[in-house]
Each structure stands twice: as structure tokens, then as C-alpha cells.
Amino acid sequence: MVNRLGVVGIVISDPKQVVEKINAILSSYSHIIVGRMGIPRPEQKVSVIALIIEGSTDEIGALTGKLGNLAGVVVKSALTARQTAAKGEKVNDQ
């Protein structure tokens, strides 16, 4: 399996409504999350989460798809073009 490194930005309108669902989804994908930073903005009723991720495009797509299907959640991702090997594998990165 080939992995990609990237970032995922998550903007949450009215976080109190979906925070438990978001945390459950992120926990189930913790194996591809390298880092996480959350910025609450309670005065604006908005929260922002930034993730550094490394996983297959299928895993990353599944994560962002599940998050993006939640009401009031906007998700954007950017992945590097460079591929990295999963543990114990080699990548033909030409």
C-alpha cells in the first residue's frame, strides 16, 4: 500500500451539535493522523481543526467523506504528490 502525506482542514459551524460525531470519526482514523490542532472560536460559534495525515488515498478519502457528510462541517484536503511506503514496503517514486 502506498501512502501520501497531507493536511486536512475542518471548519465546524455550531460545534456543539457535531463535536461527539467528529471525535468518534477522528478516533477511528487515528492510525493515519500524525498531528492535530484544534482552534475553538466560541464567540463566533465556529471551530477549526487542522490535521496532518499520512495514509492511502482511500483511507484519506473515507475520512474526509465521513466528516464532510456531517451537517455544518466543511472539509478540504491537500496531499503531496510524493508517495511514501507503508511500513516494510518500497515505493517506485519516479
User: What is the number of structural domains in the chain?
Assistant: 1
Helix 57-68, helix 19-28: angle, nearest 10: 170
pLDDT, position 26: 98
The answer as to whether 91 is a domain residue is no
Task: Give the model confidence (pLDDT) of 35-56 as tens digits.
Answer: 999 999 999 999 999 999 999 9
**pTM for the full model?**
0.86
Task: Give the model confidence (pLDDT) of 6-24 as tens digits.
Answer: 999 999 998 999 999 999 9
State phi, psi for 57 to the nearest 5 degrees: -65, -30
Cβ count within 10 A of residue 26 = 19
The answer as to whether 18 is a domain residue is yes
- The cell numbers describing 37, all together, are 490542532
Residues of the domain holding 13: 2-85
Q: Which residue has the higher pLDDT, 40 or 94?
A: 40
